[in-house]
Amino acid sequence: MTFNWIAGREIDERLHRLCIELEYEFRPKIIKFLIANFDMEGCSDFSCFHFDVNLVSKRVTLSDDTPLIYLQQIKPDFDQKLKLAFANN
């Protein structure tokens, strides 16, 4: 699983620490979602999944870097069931 950080500016030390904290917060939620909603045969270690973490809009979305077959399989449910946003960080 890869997180693509979109900051709109250079990531300094303070922002880097925030990214680490957010990844620790989001990773378990995403893994639980994938286990419940994804056929694990194709990508059992979740390494094929990529997520965009936009620090400007404060949203987490599936990245287009995720293989299309997996993107099509989980994107609607991900967008609906797992709206990851973060507040005032």
Structural domain boundaries of the chain?
2-85
Sign of CA dihedral 56, 61, 66, 72: negative
Compute the distance between CA of residue 73 and CA of residue 19 in angstroms, rounded to an integer: 27
Read off the pLDDT of residues 6-27 as tens digits, 9 standing for 90 and up: 988 888 899 999 999 999 999 9
The mean pLDDT of the chain is: 87
pLDDT at 24: 93
Higher per-residue pLDDT: 9 or 47: 47
Helix axes 13-37, 68-81, angle to 10 degrees: 100
Average pLDDT for 35-54: 86
Helix (H, G, I), strand (E, B) or coil at 25: helix
Alpha carbon distance 26, 50 (integer Å): 13
Q: pTM of the entire structure?
A: 0.84
